[in-house]
Chains A and B, each alone.
Chain A
Amino acid sequence: MAGQMMTGAEILLESLVAEGVEVVFGYGGGAVLPIYDALYQQDRIRHILVRHEQGAAHAAEGYARSTGKPGVLLVTSGPGATNTVTGLTDALMDSIPIICLTGQVPTHLIGNDAFQEADTVGITRPCTKHNYLLKDIKDVALKVREAFFVATHGRPGPVVIDLPKNITMGEAEYIRPMAVGHKTYRPIVKGKLEDVREAVQMIAAAKKPIFYTGGGVINSGPAASQLLRELAHLTGFPVTSTLMGLGAFPASDKQFVGMLGMHGTYEANMAMHDCDLMVCIGARFDDRITGKLDAFSPESKKIHIDIDPSSINKTIPVDLGIVGDVGHVLEDLIKIWKSETQRPDADALKAWWAIIDKWREKDSLAFETSDKMIMPQQAIQLLYEHTKDLDTYITTDVGQHQMWAAQHYKFEKPNRLMTSGGLGTMGYGLPSAIGVQIAHPDSTVVCITGEASFMMNIQELSTAVQHGAGVKILLLNNHYQGMVRQWQEMLHGGRLAESEMTGMPDFVKTAEAFGMVGMRAEKPSELEDVIKAMLAEDGPVIAEIETDKTIGCYPMIPSGSAHNEMLFGPRESKATKISAEGMTMV
C-alpha cells in the first residue's frame, strides 16, 4: 500500500492523531519550527502554549492522570529538553504515561556542541521509562507507535522521542504502522492462577487483615477501583491507601481507615503495624509508607500484587508476590473467592474492627480552631464541603498543604487527585491543574497550594489566562516553607535556616496583573465566603488564605520510626529524640 508523501513533522502529527492525541502542551524554538509549522496548518491537535517547559511536563501529567490517557508535550532542543527533566522524573516516580517530543539539532551536527544542542537521550535515559533518538525519517511513524505502547503498557511512565530537525524537515511516505505491541517489551498482566488461589486461601484465613492500596489501582483503570470496592465489601476488610491511591476506594466508606504512612491516620498505621495479613495492591512500600524497615508490620504475612516485578521484594520481603495488572488479578481473585464460596473469619474480623474502632476514637486528624487565625485544615474541609457535589478535580503542590489535602479532602473517585508523590516536586500543582482543566473544561479544578510551591511555577498563570483554563488556586499562605520549618523545629534546634518566605508579592494584585481574579481571606469569618466566591467564578482565580503560621502537620511518624510510634502534636515532637539515621531519612 503506497502511502502519501509527507514531511517528517506531518508524519509525526499523523502518528499522534492515530494515537488519539487531541492536545499537546508545548513551547516552540529553533529545532521544532518545522513541527510548529505543521501544527499551524492543521486543526486536529490543539496546542497549549505554556510559559516554561517544566510547566508543559506537569500539565501533560495532570492531563494523563485525570483522563487515564497519555499526556503529550512538545519542546525544543537544548534548554527546552533539559527543562523537562523534573517533569519526566516526576512522571517516572509516579508512573504517569507521558510522551515528551523534543527537538534536536540536525543529525550531522549532533556531537558538535551546536547551538541549543544537548545530549537529550543521554540526559533523560535515567529519568524516562524509555527514550528514542530518531535518525531515519522512515522510523518516525513506527517509533511513535512504539513510544505510546511503552508509555501506557505495564507500569506506565514517561517516554522521550528526540527529533532532529533534518528528520522533521525531510520527506517520506507515511504508512500507518500496523504492528501493535513490542518485540521485546511484553509486560505480564495476568497473575499466575496458582498464586491467586494461594492469596484467596491466605485472605480467608486472616484474622487481622488489611488492604494496603496504591496508585497502581488507579493506573489499572476505573474497573480496578470497582473491583477493589467489590473485594473489600466481600471480605469486610479495612482498606488504607497511599497518597497516590486516594480515591480508588471511597473515603466515605466505613471500611476506609484513611491514608497511611508518615502523615497517615493513627488507625491506618496501627492496623498496618498489628495486622496478620497485609494485601498490598498496586503500591510499592515507599519509605514514606514503611517508616523504619525492621519494625514494619513485624507479625504479618504479606501479599504483594504489582505489575512491575522489580517492585516485589525490593524493600520489604513478602510471602506471596503476584506479578500482574491489579485489575486482572483482582478480577481472578474475586472469581476464585466466589467459586470457592469463601467466607472471611467473621468473629476474628469483628474483634479486629473493635480494635480499629478504638484507634479511630483517637481522632488523629483533629485540630484546634481559633477565631483569630484560619487553620489550613479548616480551609480544606470547607473546600470539600463546597465541592463535594460538583464534578471536582484536585491538584496539590508539595509540603504541609499537600498532606492536609490528603488528610482532609475526601476523595470518592479515582483520577481525582493529582499530586507529586514520589519525587515531591514543588511547582507541580498549578501546571498540573491547567492540564486537568484543559482535559475537563466543564469541571471544577482546584489547585491546593502553598505560597512557596506556588512561586516555583507561577508563570503558568499566564498559560491559564491565555487558554481560558478556569483553575481555582487555593493558596494557603503561612509565609514559610512549612514542612521544612516543621523539620527544622523538630530536628535542627528551631534554627529556621532560609525557610521563611519574605519579599513575596501581593497575590491578589498578582492575580489582577495576570488578568484573573484575586481574593483573600485573613480571618476565619471570611474563609467560607471566599471559598464560595472562588468557586462561583468562571475564570481562573487566586484565593489567598492567610493561615496560622506556626502549626505543624500531624499526626506524623518521625523519620526512622515505626508505625506504632506516631506523634500527634508539637509538644510530643519536641520531646522526641530522633536517631541520626532517622535524620538522614527526612
Chain B
Amino acid sequence: MGGEWAANKMNRPVTQLDQTEQRHTLAVLVDNEAGVLARVIGLFSGRGYNIESLTVAEVDAAVNRSRISIVTSGTPQVIAQIKAQLERLIPVHAVADLTVEGPSVEREMALVKVNAIGDKRVESLRIADIFRARVVDATSESFVFEMTGATDKINAFLDLMVPLGMVDVSRTGVAAITRGPNPM
C-alpha cells in the first residue's frame, strides 16, 4: 500500500480516498535554532496529528543542523498533509517519508530497570542475553539493561521483563535512516 502512495506524491491524483491508517516514519532536517522543535510539535498538536514517537538531536554542528525522527500514523491523505505542512515550516530543510521512500532501518534504545532476586534475577539475565541486551548497572537486587532494536523487539523484551520485576523504563524513540548509499 505504501508503494501506491509513493507513486502518488504530493501533487498527483488521490482519486480514491484510502481511509486506512498507516504508521509512517518521517525524517526532518532542520536548522538547530531556538523554538524549532516547538514549531514541529505545535504543528502536530494544532492540526490534530498523532505523534507515536519523536526524537531530535543535532547531527551536524558545523552547519547547525538537527534531525528529527517522527513516527506518526494517519490515512495516506493525512500523512501527505503532515509532510506538506512540515515542509512549510521556515527552518525545515527537507522532509523524507522513510516508510515510502525505499527500505530503511529503524532502531530504538531502551534502558530497563528490573528489581529481582533469586530465580527471577537469573531468568532476567538469561532473557537479556537472548535479546542481546547489556547490563549497564547492577546491584545485589537490581539490573539496568541497555537494549537496542526495532520497536517491536523492544516491546517484546519489555513484555518478558514485566513479570520478572521491571520497575522503570526509559526509551529513546525511533531513529531511522534509509538503506543503501544515498543520504536523504
Chain A residues whose C-beta falls within 8 Å of the C-beta of B13 in the assembled complex:
317-320
Q: Please name the residue on chain A nearest to B35 by beta carbon.
A: A121
The answer, yes or no, to whether A184 is at the interface (CB within 8 Å) is: yes
Q: Which residues of A contact B (CB under 8 A)?
A: 121-122, 125-126, 129-130, 133, 150, 182-185, 195, 308-310, 312-314, 317-323
Within 8 A of A (CB), among B59-102: 77, 80-81, 84-85, 87-88, 90-93
CA distance A322 to B12 in the complex (A): 9
Contact of B88 among A133, A310, A317 (CB under 8 A): A310
Contact (A125, B77) CB under 8 Å given A133-B34, A184-B31, A312-B10: no
The answer, yes or no, to whether B17 is at the interface (CB within 8 Å) is: yes
Interface centre among A121, A313, A318 (most CB of B within 10 A): A313
CA distance A263 to B33 in the complex (A): 45
The reply to whether B81 and A314 contact each other, CB–CB distance below 8 Å, is: yes
Chain B residues whose C-beta falls within 8 Å of the C-beta of A133 in the assembled complex:
34-35
Chain B residues whose C-beta falls within 8 Å of the C-beta of A310 in the assembled complex:
81, 84-85, 87-88
Contact of B92 among A184, A314, A318 (CB under 8 A): A184
Contact of A309 among B10, B15, B39 (CB under 8 A): B10
Chain A residues whose C-beta falls within 8 Å of the C-beta of B35 in the assembled complex:
121-122, 125, 133
Q: Which residues of B contact A (CB under 8 A)?
A: 10-15, 17, 31, 34-35, 38-39, 42, 46, 77, 80-81, 84-85, 87-88, 90-93
The reply to whether B11 and A312 contact each other, CB–CB distance below 8 Å, is: yes
Going nearest first, the 8 A-B pairs with the smallest beta carbon separation are A321-B11, A310-B84, A130-B90, A317-B14, A309-B84, A185-B90, A319-B13, A184-B93
Closest CB-CB distance, A352 to chain B, in whole Å?
A: 24
A-B contact count (CB 8 A): 61
The reply to whether B11 and A195 contact each other, CB–CB distance below 8 Å, is: yes
Chain A residues whose C-beta falls within 8 Å of the C-beta of B42 in the assembled complex:
125-126
CA distance A130 to B33 in the complex (A): 13
CA distance A452 to B170 in the complex (A): 55
CA distance A323 to B42 in the complex (A): 25
Contact (A182, B90) CB under 8 Å given A122-B38, A125-B35, A319-B15: yes
Beyond known contacts A308-B88, A320-B13: 12 more, CB 8 A cutoff: A121-B35, A125-B35, A183-B31, A184-B93, A185-B90, A309-B10, A312-B10, A313-B10, A313-B11, A313-B80, A317-B77, A321-B12
Q: Please name the residue on chain B nearest to A131 by beta carbon.
A: B35
The reply to whether A309 and B11 contact each other, CB–CB distance below 8 Å, is: yes
Q: Please name the residue on chain B nearest to A184 by beta carbon.
A: B93
**26 chain-A/chain-B pairs, Cβ below 8 angstroms:** A121-B35, A125-B35, A125-B39, A126-B42, A126-B46, A182-B90, A183-B31, A184-B92, A309-B11, A309-B87, A309-B88, A310-B84, A310-B85, A312-B84, A313-B10, A313-B77, A313-B80, A313-B81, A314-B81, A317-B14, A317-B15, A317-B77, A320-B13, A321-B11, A321-B12, A322-B11
Q: Please name the residue on chain B nearest to A322 by beta carbon.
A: B11
CA distance A125 to B37 in the complex (A): 11
